[in-house]
Structure formats: structure tokens, C-alpha cells
Chains A and B, each alone.
Chain A
Amino acid sequence: MENIKKNKNIYRTFAFWLITIVIAFIVLFPVVWLFAASFKPDKETFMVPPSFLPHEFTFDIYQRILEGGTAKPAPWILNFFNSLKIALVTTVLTTILSALAGYGFARYRFPYKFILLLIILVGQMLPGPALLVPIAVLIENIGLTNTHTGLILLYTAFAVPFTTWLAIGNFEAIPREIEESALVDGCNQFTAFIKVVLPLSRIGLITTAIFAFLMSWSEFPFALVLIQTDEQQTMPLAMARLIREFNVFFNEMGAVTMLFTIPIFLVFLFAQKYFIRGIAAGALKG
């Protein structure tokens, strides 16, 4: 009996690993190509016939980046921190706003609620190119062109619709009894929200935060139009510099992409423990 069980486990693990590899391959193929390109010497970038993995492995481009990269007006590190700052503040702001709004929509009834809901949803529906010029004019009129504040507020407005709807779903799923017991214990609604509901919806909040972060981290067209000076540029803007009038510097693009995504990847890897059932279930019981 024990042997059969062990065999089953081995097959199971093997099957999982196989599927994992297939998924990883499909999902990551272009990404791997980009990363591989970052290790190719210049002359291999446009070789015909093409190569996937570098024939000649070199850390050339990384050295170049440390020295500042191609035609850089501002160092990559500065752009990286600009992006990081904007994304973090946007995330915090969005999470707060959408948690509040989500709770309000989930727990209260008030006139015109559906209209407001629809407004929030509709904010998601407008095509980027159409909004480019009006938003540029608007931001200029409130004096926030070329500032990170302007971008932060704009990105928050972009992320709020999506995250609010997620938050509504989150809070809906939490039974009202819990808040009721808190209220009975003498809290008001707001304290109940903070002390009881939020910890329970931790997974949802983290998801919200992740989405907000990702949406603002790699945004390009509005940053392009609103940022005027090189020092204020975000990473995507800086990366666009690599697609030049003639050439595309793939190896540098691959390297910068790698530097750009690896921190996110690591953060996400470690943030996942908040996803795991065990902790969440524990909170519920407690």
C-alpha cells in the first residue's frame, strides 16, 4: 500500500513538473529570447540565420550599462527609482481609495449607486490614444506637467476602476456577521472596517496592490507626453530610447528589461506567502 502511494506521488510530481515546464516555456519564450539577447555580442543581434541562445556569451552589455548605457542623458538607476517611486505611491493611493470605495459599494445602499458604479467601470473603457491630448492639456492646466505627482494622480485614476471592482468582490465575500459582532462590541463602522474586515481581505488587498503597481510600472504613452526632462523620465521612457531612428539595440534592451523586471519578480515571489491559504484561514479562525 505504501509503495503504491509513493508511486502515485512520484507520477503526480512528475506530471506537475512537465506541465510547469511547458507553461513556462510558452509564457517565457519571448522573454527568454530578450534576456538571451542581452548576453549576445553586438554582431550576433541581427545575424541571419538567427540564433536563439548566444553563440558567444558576453557580459559586455552589462558593463556598458553600468557605465551608463547608450547615449544616456540620465543614468538608468535614476529612471528606475523614478518608476519605483511613482509605482509605489500609486499603489498605496489606489489601494486606499479602492478599498474605501469598494467597501462603500459593497455594504451600503444609497441613491444613484448604480450610476456611480458605472462611472467607475466606464473609466476603464476609454481608449488611450483618444485621451492623450485632453489629459495633457488638463495636467498642464493644473500645473503638474513634468512632475511625478501628476503621473501618480493620473495612474491612480487609471487603476482605481479595476481595483475598486475587485475590492467590491472581496468585501462581498466576507460575511456580514463578522462586522456585526464587531459593532456589537462597540466599534463604529470605520473601526470595524480597519480592525476586522481588512485583515480578512488581505489576499484581495494584496491582489489589488499588485495590479495597481503593475499598471503604473510599465505605462508608456502618458508618461511620454507628460514628462519633459530626462531626469524625470520613468523606465519605459528610458527604454524607448533604445528604439532609435534606425536601429533597435536589442542586447541593451534585453539587459535593461532584465534589470527592470527582476526586482518585481523577486518582490512578487516573496509576497506570495500572503496568498497562501494557511495564513488566511488562520485569520478567519482567529
Chain B
Amino acid sequence: MSKSSNMAVSAIHRRGFSSRRALYGYAWTLPAVLCVIFFIFYPVFESARLSLTDQSLLAMETKYVGLETYKDMLTSEEFQVAFKNSVIWLIFGTLGVFVCGFLIGFFLHLDFIGSRLLTALVLLPWVIPDFVAATAWKWLTVGEFGIVSFYLEKIGFPEPSLLASSTYVLPTLILLVIWRITPLMSILVRASLESVPPEYYEAAEVDGATAWQRFIYITIPTIRYPLVIGTLLTSLFVLREFAVVWVTTQGGPVNYSEILPTFIYRQGFMYFETGPAAASSMIYFFFILTFALLYLFSFRKVWKELL
């Protein structure tokens, strides 16, 4: 290569913090970051401020009470139940979405007649608005009117009214969420599988690798990053689901299906206790943040190069 292009290339290879490069970096990334900060962080600060008060819109005065509202929330039984349910929700929801999404995504990748149709069909649970899906599920599983409970009863299932049962209500709702969010994961998986260059497979096949070996040594490493990040992101979607619980059971029966989003909603909009609602949202936020950081930390090999 000529000297000029050498220098150009080495300019790119340089990995130091040259101020110009830093500026470029900011230029590329700031619009998106600013957008998020403006619309999401600013309201969050407002929420954080509220969480330090004991505000109830119905009470006459609002006092700054520091962390006392947090203490009240953490020690209240309702919050603890909601928290526990949210943890279960997170673990099983994410696992379910990952497994189903991966299987379906992989299956779609195999590219047979009708796979295009199936890919589009698989998308439908996500396209339907959440409260419509929730209403449909509710009427499908309700005691006398639901098809599903009708057949469950016929086959002798102990508690055919799924949403009325203290044991089955949370699993049923988690299933509903998995049903709704799997499309995201399957599309992600399929897209990342599609972007593995076929030359890699061809080369491996020439070298005599079996299908299984090709899978382990080529597919998995190549799609490692999207898979890991994708799972994290879809788990965040799982954690944001609110309407599916509110529309079906409102956290019931009693509080067997209460998760933190419904708890927060009830505090803020039913009880008008905006201080406690803000405090609970902050706690929820820290919980999610901790989970995300732990997750990223355990998969740090995958994206270390980024830094």
C-alpha cells in the first residue's frame, strides 16, 4: 500500500482518545442519547423526586420524608408479594421466551416451503394490542364461557378456570406473556442466523464437519452477541408487560398474580398515592438495573471488545 493510504489506515487503527475521534463518536451517538434523556430520563427524575415524598393526592400536605416511603413499601406485605411474583415472572418469562423464540427462529431459518408464511404468522401475537390479546385470553379461559376451560374440564384438569385458580393464575399469565413476546425473539434469532455467511458453513462442510459440529462451532459463536443482548432486551419487554395482568385479573384472585407494574399502577391511579407509587417504581427500576448489570457482567466476554 502507498504511504498515504498507510497513514489513513493507521489513523483508523489508532485506538487512543484523540479528541477528534471522540467528537465523531459523540456526533454519531448524541441524537439518540439526547432523545432518550429528554423523553425518558427527565420524567424519571420527576418520579425520583416524588419518591422521596409521602405524597398522596388525597392528603392535604406533602412532606419530604426521604427514604421513609421506600421503607414503608419494602416492608409492606403487598409489595413483597408483588416483588416475589415479579421475580418469578422475570425468570420464567425470559426462559420461556428464549427457548421458544430460539426453537421457532431456528425452525424458520431452515427455509422450507411456507416458512415465509409462517414467519409472518408467528408475528401476530405481538402485533395485536396487548389489551385485545388479554381480553381474548380472559374470555378463552373463563369458567363457563371459555373454550379452553371447557376442554380442560372435559379432560379432567383439576382447575379448569385457570385465571381463578390461586396456583395456575400466574403460570397462565406468564404463558400469555411468553406467547406475546416470543415473536420478537424468533425474528431476532432468525435474522441473526440469516446473517451468518454461508461460506463459513461451506468451508466447514468441506473440512468434514457434521451438522451438529457446524452448529456448535460456527452458528453459536457468530450469533453470540445478538443472542445475548437480544435475550436481555426481550427480558426487559417481559418486565414491562402490564395490561396482560390488569385486564385479565387486576392482580387477582386476591394477589396471586400481582406483579410490580400492577402494584405501581394501583398505588398511583387507584389510590392516588403518588409518593409510594414513585418509590415502588424506583425500586422496580433498581431491581431491573441490577439484573441487567449482573447479566451483562456474566456475559462480559461477549461484548468486551466494544469497550
The answer on A and B forming one complex is yes
List residues of A whose CB falls within 8 A of some B CB.
13, 16-17, 19-20, 23-24, 27-28, 30-31, 33-34, 46, 48-52, 97-98, 100-101, 103-106, 108-111, 113-114, 116-117, 119-135, 137-138, 153-154, 156-158, 160-162, 164-166, 168-169, 172-173, 176, 179-180, 183-184, 189, 203-204, 206-207, 210-211, 214, 217-221, 235-236, 239-240, 243, 248, 250, 253, 257, 260-261, 264-266, 268-269, 272, 275-277, 280-281, 284
A28 and B121 in contact, given A119-B33, A127-B264, A127-B281 (Cβ under 8 angstroms): yes
Produce 1/0 per residue, B1-37, CB < 8 A to A. Answer: 1000100110010010100011111111101110111
Of A27, A111, A166, most B-chain CB atoms within 10 Å: A27
- Interface on chain B toward A: helix, strand, loop, or mixed SS? helix
Known A-B contacts A113-B25, A116-B33, A135-B43; A173 and B127 likewise in contact (beta carbons under 8 Å) = no
- Shortest B84–chain A CB gap in Å is 17
A34 and B120: CB pair below 8 A? Answer: no
- Please tell me which one of the listed residues A30, A46, A130, A276 contacts residue B47 in the complex, with CB atoms under 8 A apart: A130
Question: Closest A-chain residue to B103, C-beta based?
Answer: A23
Q: A284 vs B129: C-alpha distance in the bound complex, in angstroms?
A: 38
Chain A residues near B179 (CB-CB < 8 A) = 27, 30
Given contacts A48-B145, A131-B44, contact A264 B127 (CB under 8 A): yes
Nearest chain-B residue to A124 (Cβ)?
B236
> Is B71 an interface position by the 8 A CB rule?
no
The CA-CA distance from A261 to B27 in the complex, in Å, is 38
Tell me if B168 is interfacial: C-beta within 8 Å of chain A: no
Query: Which of B60-68, B72-80, B205-213, B224-232 forms part of the interface with chain A?
Result: B224-232
Known: A166-B226, A169-B225. A127 touches B284 (CB 8 A): yes
> Per-residue 0/1 for B117-160: is the Cβ within 8 Å of any A Cβ (1 yes, 0 no)?
11111111111111111011101100011110010000000000
User: Could you list 16 examples of A-B contacts with CB < 8 Å?
Assistant: A27-B122, A27-B182, A30-B133, A30-B179, A34-B132, A101-B31, A123-B41, A127-B260, A127-B285, A129-B269, A132-B268, A158-B39, A166-B230, A173-B222, A204-B195, A221-B242
Chain A residues lying within 8 Å of B123, measured Cβ to Cβ, are: 214, 264-265, 268
CB within 8 Å for A27 and B125 given contacts A157-B35, A184-B1: yes
Pick the contact of B191: A129, A161, A204, A214 (CB < 8 A).
A204
Q: Which residue of A lies closest to B126 (CB)?
A: A214
Cβ of B59 < 8 Å from any Cβ of A? no
B36 to A160, Cβ gap below 8 A?
yes
Most buried by A among B47, B120, B145, B281: B120
With A109-B25, A120-B32 in contact, is A50–B127 under 8 Å at CB? Answer: no
> What distance in Å separates the Cβ of B245 from its nearest Cβ neighbour in chain A?
11
- Identify the 4 closest CB pairs spanning chains A and B, nearest first: A104-B28, A134-B43, A130-B281, A108-B25
B33 and A101: CB pair below 8 A? yes
Q: Do A33 and B136 form a contact, CB below 8 Å, given A138-B42, A220-B130?
A: yes
18 further interface pairs, Cβ-Cβ under 8 Å (given A108-B25, A110-B21, A203-B195): A31-B136, A49-B144, A50-B145, A100-B28, A100-B31, A105-B25, A105-B28, A108-B28, A110-B26, A113-B25, A121-B292, A127-B284, A134-B46, A138-B43, A160-B35, A162-B233, A203-B194, A268-B119
Look across to chain B and name the residue whose beta carbon is closest to the beta carbon of A250.
B139
Which B residues touch A122, using CB under 8 A?
289, 292
Q: Which residues of A contact B115 (CB under 8 A)?
A: 20
Q: A110-B22, A114-B307, A120-B32 are in contact. Are A272 and B281 (CB under 8 A)?
A: no
B301, chain A: closest CB distance, angstroms:
14
A210-B132 in contact (CB<8A)? no
